[in-house]
Amino acid sequence: MLITKQPVSIFWFRRDLRLSDNHGLYMALKSQYPVLAIFIFDFDILNNLTSKKDNRVAFILEALRQINTELVETGSSLYVLHDTPVAAFEKLTKEFEIRQVFTNNDYEPYAITRDKKIKDYLASKNISFHLYKDQVIFEEHEIIKTDGKPYTVYTPYSKMWKQKLEAESPIQFASEECLTQLLKKDPFPFPSLQDIGFETVEYKIPSMDIADGVIKNYHETRNLPGVSGTSEMSVHLRFGTVSVRRLVNLAKQFNEKWLNELIWREFFMMILFHFPSVVNHSFKKKYDKIAWRNADEEFKLWCKGETGYPLVDAGMRQLNETGRMHNRVRLVVASFLVKHLLIDWRWGEAFFAEKLLDYELASNNGNWQWAAGSGCDAAPYFRVFNPHIQTKKFDPEFVYIKTWIKDYKPGYLPEVVEHEFARKRALEVYKRSLAE
């Protein structure tokens, strides 16, 4: 007797780890077949991580656990695979009669290459592959100049972005109301961190609930690391545990300065898409000529938070301990590495990529190149932050510093370099290198 498999649609979770207002999930649930929800722990990504204690992997697994709990309540389940994406779909096509695959767009170079491979594989099986816009309000080709070229300066990009937003308010997708369309079956086994080759870690995730007061006062408190004055939504945006459409609607209602920060995120994603060479090279090509000192011992002191500059050290210690760092402090520590120590911005970017819980290639790369002066719409190379002045302006009572440098007292460590000497040296090196 021939047993035919039940036709299904697949929804593939990636950077959209939520059941509510999920564009691709909504479209899958509106298809004509029951929906099998999957997630793939990608060998190609996990094998490149340097530590088996990785907060990001633990965060993803916990987000998936919450999704799975809700799916089980509907009589369905999340199928978590651990393989390369192509191998995972080869396995899936053997187990199920797949008619369609739905997922949300990802714009990083690796993701674009991966999705092309999956699309080609599925096409060979006569399975359609559908991509939807979900992690941004506007994709890379939606905000462009009249000549069809991408913007490379933030201000005109943001003006066009806001104009388009007014004309086309983002639609939210009630995917959470359609879960009855999920494939009904006994629960799949749910993996532990150990099952996918990682160790248990302890970390603290910011809440997804934002106090109205934080957003209303964001423009006044966002640069003060010693107070709870930021939304702390970056990790949730990174993994899609919160809808960007929801955040933009909040920003429109309460604070334009916060909206501007959300636009910066999309600006950098657009830059990465149109200029993928920025991953390894300066956006402004001549900045690849900078004669970096790249002193390894000084880099190690910066990594450990032992430069003798309190605000820099507090930031690096917060990063090492929690995987997070206040946004203003990120600018200070990046400027210090690049300008004071004359260490290649790529070294700092790679260290942040390893440590940051909210690591996102486009924003990390864009902000490091901004600090180095090498990026699009970057700070001019002759702007060198004075960490002492930054402290007086933004942490005058040393609240943030004393939180992360437990034994802080003046002169707690010798300064790795004197500020005025470092500033003059940086200006000379930049000027000489850029003139060549």
Q: How many CB atoms lie within 10 A of CB 91?
A: 13
pLDDT digits (tens, 9 = 90+) for 145-183: 999 999 999 999 999 999 999 998 888 999 999 999 999
Residue carrying the six token digits 């209602």: 253
Element at 80 (helix H, strand E): strand 78-83
> In the prediction, which pLDDT does 3 show?
47
Residue 13 pairs with which residues in a beta bridge?
39
Q: How far from chain centre, in Å, is Cα 236? A: 9
Residue carrying the six token digits 């009630």: 174
For the chain, which residues score pLDDT lower than 50?
1-3
* Third-level CATH fold of 7-134: Rossmann fold (3.40.50)
Separation of alpha carbons 3 and 99, rounded Å: 17
Alpha carbons within 13 A on the beta-carbon side of 176: 9
Residue 125 is classified by DSSP as T
Please name which of 33, 171, 40, 60 lies closest in space to residue 103, comparing C-alpha atoms.
Answer: 40
Separation of alpha carbons 191 and 240, rounded Å: 21
Separation of alpha carbons 316 and 326, rounded Å: 10
Q: Three-class SS of residue 102?
A: strand
| Class of domain 277-435 as given by CATH | mainly alpha
- Domain range summary for the chain, segments of one domain joined by +: 7-134, 136-173+211-274, 277-435
Please name which of 73, 23, 26 lies closest in space to residue 178, comparing C-alpha atoms.
Answer: 26
Q: Greatest CA separation found in the chain?
A: 84
* Rg (the chain; Cα; Å): 23
> In the prediction, which pLDDT does 2 show?
42
Q: Which CATH number fits domain 136-173+211-274: 3.40.630.30, 1.25.40.80, 3.30.465.10, 3.40.190.10?
A: 1.25.40.80
Separation of alpha carbons 429 and 425, rounded Å: 6
> In the prediction, which pLDDT does 4 show?
60
Where residue 183 falls (left for φ over 0; alpha for ψ -120 to 50; beta otherwise) is beta
Task: Name the token pair of 11.
Answer: 């929804």
Q: How far from chain centre, in Å, is Cα 279? A: 14
Separation of alpha carbons 292 and 295, rounded Å: 9
At 207, which amino acid appears?
Answer: S
Q: Which residues contact 89 (CB under 8 A, 6 or more apart)?
A: 101, 118, 121, 122
CA angle 287, 289, 295 (to 5 degrees): 100
Residue 126 is classified by DSSP as T
CA angle 202, 204, 209 (to 5 degrees): 155
